[in-house]
Amino acid sequence: MKYKQLIAKMTLEEKASLMSGKDFWQSQDIERLGINSIFLADGPHGIRRQAVSSDKLGLNAGLPATCYPTAATVANSWNAELGERVGEYLGEEAISQKVNVLLGPGINMKRNPLCGRNFEYFSEDPYLTGKMAASYIRGIQSHGVSACVKHFAVNNQEERRMSIDTIVDERTLREIYLTAFEIAVKEGNTKSIMSSYNKLNGTYTNENLHLMKDILRGEWGYNGTVITDWGGSNDRVAGLIAGNELEMPSTSGETDKEIIEAIKNGTIDESVLDECVDRLLELIYSTEGVYQNPRVDFNIERHHRVSQKVAEESIVLLKNEGNILPLPFGKRVAVIGDFAKDARYQGAGSSIVNPTILDHTLDCFEESGILSIGYEPGFERYGKKSPKKVAAACALAKEADVVLLYIGLDEVTEAEGLDRQSMMIPDNQIELLNALHEVNPNIIAIVSCGSAIEMPWIPKVKGLLHGYLGGQAGARAILRVLSGDVNPSGKLAETYPLHYRDTPSYQNFPGGEVSVEYREGLYIGYRYYDTAEVDVLFPFGYGLSYTTFEYSDIRVQEYGVTFKLTNSGNVAGMEVAQLYVGCQSKDIFRPKKELKGFVKVFINAGETKTITIPFDDKTFRYFNVETNQWEIEEANYEIMVGASSADIKLSKSFFVKGTGAPLPYEKEKLPSYYSGKAQDVSIEEFETLIGREVPVATWDRSKPLGYNDTLAQCQYAKGVSARIAYYSIIFSFWFLKKIGKRNTANMIMMSIYHLPFRGIARMTGGLVNMPMLDGILLMVNGHFFKGLRKFLRERKKKLLIVK
């Protein structure tokens, strides 16, 4: 242990106190030993240090900070160097705001397009996600602060996220859901990791010894700190045994007592606590420059310009019929859509950033060189239909050569704590588009949202530019692409299916009341669509340019693949060349192809460059469930280089010597997985894959409600007061949406409806302790007066202790 001597000076009580927060945003300090608190702040795409004091929880306004494009946006750049630059600027702002630990990046897989937090996550592919995450981490930590990679692991939905049990087979867990974390640990060297709320195969992730001990600490050699998500601790002692150092937020010493008691009664050895304290001290001392150095203001204008550069390189051109883009000089354009006036530039929830500057489209036209003849909102932002606004928009469109139509999803549709209800944009926007098409067919749609959407209306637009969520400078960046000042180079980091029903997890999202089964296994995103030969709207890795590129002269050697890339057009541009690998053996089921490398290259018009994409330890491996380790299957592999997963330009067969591992599966028992048609796997076949029975996915209504049941389950409670509370929550949600208070309505669902009862104690900073919660549960389970007496008695005890 690095801090053995310092730890020896601590009392048992002091060591235990370090294992939970001092308040909502700070760790505990020990003044007599010179151990300072560290400050943790939200911020995957910008710093959200709350302007209110750190003893306040909630989504309060943060101090002004640069709002960079979200992770879902930057992933479309396919530029790890750009990601590192974003990280460097985030780290600089963290230092400026005295933040030791920046809670990001988020690297969970986009298993399903409806996950409400997809805007915070990079991709459906673990390799691309891992490489982008590692670059962010290196940039952030170059300033002496810590990144905190989240949410570890298999947290791929928001509904019931604090209680859901994720059922997944070991190979899928390793290859799809843990690979990005592995890269973040080994290549990014992240100093801290945030555990997720959910269970994994029956055990909460921060208590899961297989996940935390065997894999994270053992196989990956991780020596950093594990921090719970806020309120994400279930059994504090079990978490400590698993190696979860810091519980957030504060529990006012309640869980410290649990740790002390466990050591005194021999449940755990004090050395376990000492090791956790040692790792936390390393996080504290490795980020101490934050509070030792004087505060330095960052250059707001320069950071804003960097945000714009990142947005420009992440914008994806999806359609350009008749080369309607870039807009020729002198074209008269009508600007239509509410998002043109008030830009949609970030998601909602804990990641909300208070921007230092905010560009809006209407304020940037003069410098863009685009000739605007006027603006009309065309639609109500939150879905209400307005024939008057549609008529005004159509009148303006008639006078224009081209219509710039700004559409997408609003802020409360994509939000932490809630999953989307459909993949469609609101009906009122589609009706506006249909009406505009009748009067002017030259429509360029600019889409703003953080995740995949259905586009049945796409035949009615000639140009389609996807800005995703481009941060505070995104509006200006879009205009620079429209005008041709910037040649678009973004490519999709996720597949756009034709219909939601085509997605591989369609049958199993968001799962049952208690658990969610990942029956599709390895086949998420393009791995499914390509293997099962399902048509898509836009494939993974797709994106157009104002120039053209030609691939030639592929060569494959032991170290990697080399080829030539030529800009065959008339405009300088950047191309993302993608390496895919497919095993030609059929002995072990695999996706048809998997991303194993990529490179983004700037090439002048007419220029040719020789490109090399190296192989690495992940190029040919698969996880063998028989040997319980990574193996290589001896076979011929197809080495493919392309412009997207569906646009392979070059390929060559290459023989790879294997490790000689036994075959892990009986082929005839897993027909869906060997065919790749894994959207509708039977429970029997899924149980064969995981090697055990799946748990019952419905709540057992015969049992009394307990700590890990959610407030939503009060609908089944024996106590009348609990059922009244449930219907009050439902009515409040409905009523607030009805009167336009959608943000508040969403907060109810995020913070109350899906909250486990233990969260009442874990998320209130000690205002409600577990004995008081026992009283609440007595009331919920039909013993109202007995429960009320216990609650009041325990509350009185607590107040006396505080005094």
d(CA 732, CA 766) in angstroms, rounded, equals 26
pLDDT given at position 415: 87
Residue 5: what pLDDT?
97
What's the pLDDT tens digit per position in 255-272? Answer: 999 999 999 999 999 999
Torsion angle in degrees (nearest 10) through CA of 155, 160, 165, 169? -40
Same fold, 31-238+285-292 and 547-664: no
If you average pLDDT over every residue of the chain, what do you get? 95
DSSP helix, strand, coil percent of the chain (3-state; round to 5): 35, 20, 45
803 pLDDT more than 60: no
pLDDT at 681: 98
CA 263: distance to chain centroid? 37
Instruction: For residue 11, give the nearest of 282, 265, 264 by alpha carbon.
Output: 264
Local structure of 183: helix, strand or coil: helix
What is residue 25's three-state secondary structure? coil
Order of strands across the sheet with 608-614?
Answer: 549-557, 560-567, 608-614
Per DSSP, 33 falls in state: G
For 525-583, the DSSP string reads THHHHHHHT--EEE-TT--B-SS-EEEEEEEEETTEEEEEEEE-SSS-EEEEEEEEEEE
Can you state the angle between helices 300-314 and 80-96, rounded to 10 degrees?
150
pLDDT at residue 801 is higher than 80: no
pLDDT at 277 over 90: yes
pLDDT digits (tens, 9 = 90+) for 303-348: 999 999 999 999 999 999 999 999 998 899 999 999 999 999 998 8
Alpha helix locations (H) across 193-269?
209, 236-242, 254-264
Three-state SS across 253-273? CHHHHHHHHHHHCCCCCHHHH
pLDDT tens digits, one per residue of 701-746: 889 999 999 999 999 999 999 999 999 999 998 998 888 788 788 8
Residue 58 pLDDT: 52
229 is annotated as an active-site residue: yes
416-435 per-position pLDDT tens digit = 888 999 999 999 999 999 99
In this predicted model, what pLDDT tens digit does every residue of 752-774 receive, in sequence order? 888 999 999 888 877 899 999 99
CATH architecture, domain 303-516? 3-Layer(aba) Sandwich (3.40)
Q: For residue 60, is pLDDT > 90?
A: no
Dihedral (Cα; 26, 29, 35, 36), 10-degree rounding: 40
Whether 599 shows a pLDDT value over 80: the answer reads yes
Residues 769-787 have a mean pLDDT of 95
Q: Please state the rounded mean pLDDT for residues 535-554.
A: 98
C-alpha span between 46 and 74 (Å, rounded): 13
Place 55 in a pLDDT band, splitting at 50, 70 and 90. Answer: low
Q: Which of 66-70, 377-381, 411-415, 589-593 has the lowest mean pLDDT?
A: 411-415
**Confidence (pTM):** 0.96
Confidence of residue 59 (pLDDT cuts 50, 70, 90): low
Quick count: other Cβ atoms within 10 Å of Cβ 614?
13
C-alpha angle 227/231/236, rounded to 5°? 65
CATH topology of domain 547-664: Immunoglobulin-like (2.60.40)
Of 42, 125, 169, 229, which one is the catalytic site residue? 229
pLDDT tens across 4-14, in order? 999 999 999 99
Q: Can you tell me the mean pLDDT for 483-505? A: 98
- What kind of fold does domain 31-238+285-292 have according to CATH? TIM Barrel (3.20.20)
Quick one: which of 198, 184, 177, 72 has its CA closest to 138? 184
Tens of pLDDT, residue by residue over 620-669, are 999 999 999 999 999 999 999 999 999 999 999 999 999 999 999 999 99
φ, ψ dihedrals at 750, nearest 5° = -70, -45
For 204-235, what is each residue's pLDDT tens digit? 999 999 999 999 999 999 999 999 999 999 99
Q: What is the rounded average pLDDT of the residues 80-105? A: 96
The Cα 233–Cα 243 span in angstroms is: 13
Domain map of the chain by residue range?
31-238+285-292, 303-516, 547-664, 711-802
Distance CA 138, CA 186 (A): 11
Average pLDDT over residues 477-495: 97
Q: Any idea how long the chain is? A: 803
Taking the alpha carbons of 743, 748, 751, 753 in that order, is the dihedral positive or negative?
negative
